[in-house]
Structure 1
Amino acid sequence: MMNHKFLSLIFIAVLAGSACLAQTNQPAIVEDFKPSTKNQPGQEYPQVNSQGYARFRVVAPQAQSVSVSLGLGGKGGTVLTKGAGGVWTGTTEGPMDEGFHYYHLSIDGGVFNDPGTLNFYGSARWESGIEIPAQDKDFYALKDVPHGNVQQVLFPSKSTGTSRRAFIYTPPGYGKDPKKRYPVLYLQHGWGEDETAWSNQGHANLIMDNMIADGKIKPFIIVMTYGMTNDVKFGGLKNFDIKPFQTVLVDELIPFVDTNFRTLADPSNRAMAGLSMGGVETHMITLARPDLFSYYALLSGGVYTPTEIKDKSKLKLIFISCGSRENPDGVKKAVTDLRGAGFNVVSYVSQNTAHEFLTWRRSLRELAPMLFR
């Protein structure tokens, strides 16, 4: 089982947030701000510029203090200044890391979402979101290519006494050939998130569509479900019990998917991956049930060691990734040790990112071409 100290480090990284600021002296701010792509329709704020700064505008005439939990500017993040008409404005003190970030407003000590943005489930609540354009954003951009479908399904769960939800991506052309069957990737979110994360924050479907259109990957199905992680509180990770979720995944969800979708229902065509706490779940379940999966992937979710993998008869690939601001040395050492023990293992380090969705978008881009070959 994964070291409890490591579990705590993952949890701390999540709580610390992903809104990292580039360091060193900053040049003058370029006034080419545009609305974030994560804004509500027609909303002008928040805005981002070509350097990665974020600018906010909040109308709160009766407020005494307003701040944004994003960037520097004191304990509250970016502190906004009150102007005429009770309009509060402010700009981050430095450029943000590229990619997606959660944030919220603090108004007179209360926590609120920004009415200018869409909401995304993270930190075990619906949060505001902002997108800092990345230099390599083309791989997850919405393009004029054939698109797959992401559909919500409800599957029966006797172990929990409920109908549980999953989102399932089927690739372009899935409905055209009733005889064609597909491999499946079971893809898990992180702590504080849910089954919507990989589609909404991660753009997993767009990454897949673009890579399939470019002929870079073999089409496959992705299944995303809630990992039952959000009852875990800080300091309680050592008590995390994988068994309830393992039962849901192994005994209920996988049979449901194999029955209701045209899958290749064998271990050589089944993979499991997860980001952060979802990587911890992947680690635990793949070790406990090596008969089910042939591809394992941990995205900022720890590492495997040679001694803990007792059965490698069906194992085809281990993929381990992280951001360059996380633990790249640990990832590289794990890969060296696993290769020395005869495992097929690949590492990936996302440059200039931390524990955040650009790390995981890039990781999926690197992982997908290696699956089911």
Structure 2
Amino acid sequence: VRNSKYPQLTADHRAIFRIKAPDAQKVQIDLGRKYDMVRQEGGIWETVTDSLGEGFHYYSLLIDGVAVADPGSETFYGMGRMASGIEVPFKGGEYYALKDVPHGDIRMKRYYSEVSRSWRRFFVYTPAGYDTHTTEKYPVLYLLHGGGEDERGWATQGKTDLIMDNLIAEGKAKPMLIIMLDGNMASAGFNAGALKAFEAELMQAVIPFVEKNYRVRKEPDSRALAGLSMGGIQTLYAGLYHTDMFAHLGVFSSGWLPFYQKIADDQYEFINKNKAAIDSQLRLLWIAMGGKEDIAYQNCQNMLKEFDALKLKYIYSEYPGGHTWPVWRNNLYNFAQLLFNK
């Protein structure tokens, strides 16, 4: 945060953390691996980590065993709570660097859902020129976050606006709206009820609201649906059952989990029975993984074997980095370039 000297990053990607906690007995940094902090004079605690991997990392302070956010860092909603975050830059990240190009906006919009009977919100990326090109209608990508995150994920951790600003300025992607909605439903959890609730919210609340309030094209070829991890499962569920609504689907770091087997089998049967319609409607099914270290890797491979047996067409891509935001930013970068092309 502004005027805070710590955390610091060294040239070899080690992080230096320092916190004042004079009454604490034990302080640690939790970056997945826990680092003990050493007490200095004046109640200052300090530690230096090993070299960190490139990209974005959630972390927490553990003060006498209690996980808290670092007051010296920005906070992000991740891991199901507010957590601190640290970004390790790398040469491959130029595509989301802040550049001298026309910039769009990320806006927050509240809406009342008759489906969930609650006030909800989404974030929307509008490309440069949206407010001045008042007669132009745009294609739209509905973009979903992962488990433990919410509609803020793609807008903040995901760098969506910078990725799209740069792509559009370079002529590599079509100007589009991106709706970053909340995939967390009242029936929270990984179950059929939550998937059905999300499908209803998307189809009956979000899309009608967007198409009433924003200048977007309404034909299936101008709609795309994509998501990471949990959002990838939601994309599989809502997208493959509705290829009459979405001609483009993106599944990032995801695949049917073992406890979804009945849901997966039902979908495979649906694909088999409706193969001709799906083939004619679905222009792009893009599936990406963060390499073999991605925690969803094997689930995805098992699903792809079923797709192969069904002769369902898809494009498969890997970008090393596991189940992390650098991978998903790269997924968006590549997926967006394939959308809405004649």
Change (3 A) 1:113 1:247: same
Q: What displacement does 1:167 show?
A: 0.7
What is the DSSP-based 3-state SS (H/G/I as helix, E as strand, rest coil) of the residue aligned with 2:175?
Answer: coil
Distance, in Å, in 1 between the alignment partners of 2:132 and 2:63 is: 52
Change (3 A) 1:71 1:331: closer
- In the alignment, residue 255 of structure 1 is paired with which amino acid? P
Distance, in Å, in 2 between the alignment partners of 1:251 and 1:232 is: 19
- In the alignment, residue 350 of structure 1 is paired with which amino acid? Y
Distance, in Å, in 2 between the alignment partners of 1:339 and 1:51 is: 43
Change (3 A) 1:346 1:173: same
Distance, in Å, in 1 between the alignment partners of 2:36 and 2:318 is: 33
| Correspondence 1:357 to 2:325 | yes
Residue 366 of structure 1 is matched in structure 2 by 334
Distance, in Å, in 2 between the alignment partners of 1:85 and 1:156 is: 51
Distance, in Å, in 2 between the alignment partners of 1:372 and 1:239 is: 31
The question of whether the paired residues in 2 share the 8 Å contact of 1:321 and 1:331 is answered with no
Matches within 5 A, 1:149-160: 149-160=105-116
- Post-superposition Cα deviations, 1:230-261, rounded to whole Å, max 9, x if no partner, equal 8645xxx3455212222211111101111111
Identity among equivalent positions (%) equals 38
| Correspondence 1:256 to 2:209 | yes
Change (3 A) 1:343 1:124: same
What is the DSSP-based 3-state SS (H/G/I as helix, E as strand, rest coil) of the residue aligned with 2:58?
Answer: strand
Distance, in Å, in 1 between the alignment partners of 2:61 and 2:41 is: 20
Distance, in Å, in 2 between the alignment partners of 1:219 and 1:340 is: 36
Residue 106 of structure 1 is matched in structure 2 by 62
Q: What displacement does 1:53 show?
A: 1.6
| Correspondence 1:146 to 2:102 | yes
The question of whether the paired residues in 1 share the 8 Å contact of 2:99 and 2:166 is answered with yes
Q: What displacement does 1:229 show?
A: 5.1
Decide which moves more: 318-327 or 199-208.
Answer: 318-327
- In the alignment, residue 323 of structure 2 is paired with which amino acid? H
- In the alignment, residue 42 of structure 2 is paired with which amino acid? G
Residue 9 of structure 1 is matched in structure 2 by none
Task: Report how many aligned residue pairs link the two structures.
Answer: 325
Residue 321 of structure 1 is matched in structure 2 by 288
Residue 269 of structure 1 is matched in structure 2 by 222
Q: What displacement does 1:298 show?
A: 0.7
Q: Which consecutive unaligned segments of at least 5 residues does structure 1 have?
A: 1-39
Q: What displacement does 1:226 show?
A: 0.6
- Post-superposition Cα deviations, 1:91-135, rounded to whole Å, max 9, x if no partner, equal 11x222211111111101112110000110111211111101122
RMSD between superposed Cα atoms in Å = 2.1
Distance, in Å, in 2 between the alignment partners of 1:98 and 1:138 is: 13
Residue 24 of structure 1 is matched in structure 2 by none
- Post-superposition Cα deviations, 1:308-353, rounded to whole Å, max 9, x if no partner, equal 53341310010111112115576567557646755442122112x1
Matches within 5 A, 1:197-216: 197-216=153-172
| Correspondence 1:346 to 2:299 | no
Residue 137 of structure 2 is matched in structure 1 by 181
Residue 31 of structure 1 is matched in structure 2 by none
Decide which moves more: 326-335 or 263-272.
Answer: 326-335
1:224 aligns with one of 177, 180, 187: 180
Q: What displacement does 1:169 show?
A: 0.6
Q: Which consecutive unaligned segments of at least 5 residues does structure 2 have?
A: 257-263
Distance, in Å, in 1 between the alignment partners of 2:128 and 2:160 is: 14
The question of whether the paired residues in 1 share the 8 Å contact of 2:142 and 2:178 is answered with yes
Distance, in Å, in 1 between the alignment partners of 2:300 and 2:182 is: 26
Residue 91 of structure 1 is matched in structure 2 by 48
The question of whether the paired residues in 1 share the 8 Å contact of 2:112 and 2:119 is answered with yes
Provide TM-score, normalisation by structure 1.
Answer: 0.82
What is the DSSP-based 3-state SS (H/G/I as helix, E as strand, rest coil) of the residue aligned with 1:104?
Answer: strand
- In the alignment, residue 314 of structure 1 is paired with which amino acid? Q
Distance, in Å, in 1 between the alignment partners of 2:80 and 2:180 is: 17
Distance, in Å, in 1 between the alignment partners of 2:9 and 2:181 is: 32
Distance, in Å, in 1 between the alignment partners of 2:54 and 2:163 is: 17
Provide TM-score, normalisation by structure 2.
Answer: 0.89
Q: What displacement does 1:185 show?
A: 0.4
Residue 134 of structure 1 is matched in structure 2 by 90
Distance, in Å, in 2 between the alignment partners of 1:134 and 1:176 is: 35
Residue 261 of structure 2 is matched in structure 1 by none
| Correspondence 1:122 to 2:78 | yes
What is the DSSP-based 3-state SS (H/G/I as helix, E as strand, rest coil) of the residue aligned with 2:199?
Answer: helix
| Correspondence 1:80 to 2:43 | no
- In the alignment, residue 271 of structure 1 is paired with which amino acid? A
Q: What displacement does 1:272 show?
A: 0.4
What is the DSSP-based 3-state SS (H/G/I as helix, E as strand, rest coil) of the residue aligned with 2:197?
Answer: helix
Distance, in Å, in 2 between the alignment partners of 1:138 and 1:264 is: 31
Change (3 A) 1:346 1:182: same
What is the DSSP-based 3-state SS (H/G/I as helix, E as strand, rest coil) of the residue aligned with 2:51?
Answer: coil
Q: What displacement does 1:172 show?
A: 0.9
The question of whether the paired residues in 2 share the 8 Å contact of 1:191 and 1:229 is answered with no
